[in-house]
Amino acid sequence: MIRSATIVAAIFLAVSTQAQINVRLDLERNRYLLYEQMIATVDIQNYSAAQVQLADQESMPWLRFEINRSNGERIGMVGPGFLAGTVTLGPGQVKAKAADLVAYYQIREVGRYRIRALVKVSNVGGSFASRERTVEVVGGRQLLTKSAGFKDESGKEGLRVFSLLEVLLGTQVWLYARVENQQGDTIYGVVPLGEWVTFSTPTAATDKDGNFHVLHQAQPRRFCHSIISPKAAVLKRESFSNYNTLPELKRTTDGQVKVVGGESMDRPSQPPPAPKAP
């Protein structure tokens, strides 16, 4: 009888310990453009009185995501998946990990996806899941494309195709720049450019270095100029007003592209205050 009671107590203790680990999955929104970064933040909270160890076991990460399409199809990982490293949670502690799901999972088609975060706790021996989140991946509408040649760090020449896309996010229309190779089978990045006033027409140009320039109206009196590199990196963002003149993109004689007209809305850096007199 005593032995049975001990076994029951041990089982109860294990279940009780497992029940005190909480996993929370957070996504920035519920609609994304295809190939856009989809940052998932996972909060793991230890409600128990014992220390919890989170560690990758060989090829099995302690944090992974279960992603299914609306038809039930399971989405596979890209390579070994996301490795979060070792994390120790003391009693009452909460820690967060973030991962780009598009980089680590085969989210390569438009449609709805159901996502859960799964956490495996090494020293407890249990797995814990977050609540399911549903997101929609959309293709957007292409407004224009530009091609540009460039040279990489080694001097090798290449060609990039830049596309300007619009997508409805909630009640706002956003513009995005997509960077891909000439064949269209490699996407280097999808970069959000910001809100767009749809009664205006955005303009775009490429410079001699293969960078993509976009000028669009974000508000009634505010225009945004963005420069995107062949690697889909944001090189510069700046804002202009149209109080006196309308800003526009102009190509210079040396092959560069700049904004002519308008008034800069970016605050210049302030010099440090003068030291006080003794």
| pLDDT of 15 strictly over 50 | no
| pLDDT of 207 strictly over 70 | yes
Please state the domain count of the chain. 2
Residue recorded with tokens 């021996």: 125
The residue from 84, 109, 137 where one domain ends is 137
End-to-end CA distance of the chain: 84
Domain hosting 121: range is 19-137
Q: State the pLDDT at residue 256.
A: 96
The pLDDT tens digits for 124-178 are 668 899 999 999 999 999 999 999 999 888 888 999 999 999 999 989 999 999 9
Q: Do 111 and 154 sit in the same domain of this protein?
A: no
Q: Do 239 and 164 sit in the same domain of this protein?
A: yes
Q: Do 132 and 157 sit in the same domain of this protein?
A: no
Q: Do 242 and 207 sit in the same domain of this protein?
A: yes
Query: What percentage of the chain exceeds 70 in pLDDT?
Result: 88
Q: Which residues contact 14 (CB under 8 A, 6 or more apart)?
A: 124, 125, 126
43 sits in the region (left: phi over 0; alpha: psi -120 to 50; else beta) called: beta
CATH code for position 119:
2.60.40.2970
> Model confidence at 231, in pLDDT bands (50, 70, 90)?
very high
Better-predicted residue by pLDDT, 278 or 263: 263
> Model confidence at 199, in pLDDT bands (50, 70, 90)?
very high
The residue from 137, 170, 194 where one domain ends is 137
| pLDDT of 3 strictly over 50 | no
Query: Is 278 domain-assigned?
Result: no
For CA atoms 69, 73, 79, 80, the dihedral sign is positive
Query: Is 233 domain-assigned?
Result: yes
Which residues are registered as beta bridge partners of 21? 46
Query: Is 84 domain-assigned?
Result: yes
Better-predicted residue by pLDDT, 55 or 203: 203
The residue from 137, 168, 198 where one domain ends is 137
pTM of the model: 0.82
Please report which helix (H) or strand (E) contains residue 13, including its range: helix 2-19
Query: Is 271 domain-assigned?
Result: no
Q: Do 130 and 158 sit in the same domain of this protein?
A: no
Query: Is 235 domain-assigned?
Result: yes
Q: State the pLDDT at residue 268.
A: 59
Nearest to 82 by CA among 65, 66, 95, 68: 65
Q: Do 173 and 251 sit in the same domain of this protein?
A: yes
Q: Do 70 and 85 sit in the same domain of this protein?
A: yes
Q: Do 76 and 171 sit in the same domain of this protein?
A: no
Q: Do 259 and 200 sit in the same domain of this protein?
A: yes
The Cα 233–Cα 189 span in angstroms is 8
Q: CA angle 201-204-206, nearest 5°?
A: 175
